[in-house]
Amino acid sequence: MRTFRRLMIAIVAILVLAAATPSFAQSSAPPAGTPLKLKIPSFAPSSVVPAAPTAPTPVRLMRVQDDDSGLGIFIQGGFLRSTTYGENGVPTQGLSDAFPGFIVGIGFGGNKSGLFGIGADINYLRKRADNVEIFGQDFPFASGALTLHYIEVPVWGRFNFGSRTKSGATFYVMLGGFIDILVKGDLEGESIKNLFNGFDAGPLLGAGFEVARIGFEYRANWALRTLQSTGNGTFLNGLEESKAFTHVFLVKIRLN
């Protein structure tokens, strides 16, 4: 009897366990076809070094100059007056006694954004003198209007004072040298180019004022060579053995 009772208790326990197993499986088992992953916590020290905090990028404030410029390109033009000096130079009481002319060309440089700049020009010059008389071995006596045509190449440095922008006001002074290359000379339509030296050269001084891309400039050029080509003729009116001194007045317009 005792044995039968133990057997019945075992059968009931097995039936209760069998009834509970499907419910447990449905609630805890993963879906069919899902691979089982076994997660084991790692106690090893991590090799990943945390990134150091980066400093914020500084904001740089730049000085903005919408007109800031170094190299300038100019078109220029104006008028000139030439006198003479040296042995037998023409006495001059003022510009009204000088030989008038004009000048046109293009200029480069200046470095208006800095204290000092270097530049150069390529200019065309025409000088004229009335009532000039010439006689000599290679040319019979003649008189009339003398016209001389030159290509001028001055090279100069300038010191700037004032604004550092193209639109601002700047005063400057200039120091340099020039070469005048004679391309044509005539007296009343007759070529007398061979009676003159082929070029003049010498120092120049100047000053100018520039604002809103427009400049006004004065230059003084001292030629160190005589006008006359030795032995080819004699110039009256004080041109014999004389050298040219030229006043140049320019208006300049900056292109860039």
Which residues touch 133 (CB under 8 Å, ≥6 apart)? Answer: 141, 142, 143, 235, 236, 237
Q: 215-255 pLDDT, tens per residue? A: 999 999 999 988 877 655 555 555 666 788 999 999 999 99
* pLDDT tier, 62 (very low <50, low <70, confident <90, very high otherwise): very low
In a domain, 166, yes or no: yes
**Residues above pLDDT 70, as percent of the chain:** 61
Looking at 3-12, 59-68, 146-155, 231-240, which range is the least confident one? 59-68
Q: Calculate the average pLDDT of the chain.
A: 76
Q: Which amino acid is at 136?
A: G
In a domain, 110, yes or no: yes
In a domain, 163, yes or no: yes
pLDDT at 46 over 80: no
For residue 221, the domain's CATH number is 2.40.160
Token pair 């025409």 in the structure block, residue: 126
Full domain range(s) for residue 96: 73-126+150-182+196-254
Q: For 131, left (φ over 0), alpha (ψ -120 to 50), or beta?
A: left
* Bridging pattern class, strands 142-162 and 243-254: unpaired
Q: Which residue has the higher pLDDT, 38 or 125?
A: 125
Q: 102-131 pLDDT, tens per residue? A: 999 999 998 888 899 999 999 999 998 877
In a domain, 61, yes or no: no
Closest CA relative to residue 233, chosen from 158, 167, 142: 142
* 177-216 per-residue burial string, b: 16 or more CB within 10 A, e: under 16: ebebebeebebeeeebeebbbeebbbebebebebeebebe
In a domain, 95, yes or no: yes
DSSP assigned state of 194? G
Q: 176-203 pLDDT, tens per residue? A: 999 999 999 888 888 888 888 889 999 9
Q: For 38, left (φ over 0), alpha (ψ -120 to 50), or beta?
A: beta
In a domain, 168, yes or no: yes
Q: How many domains does the chain have?
A: 1
Structure tokens at 220: 């003084």
In a domain, 138, yes or no: no
In a domain, 16, yes or no: no
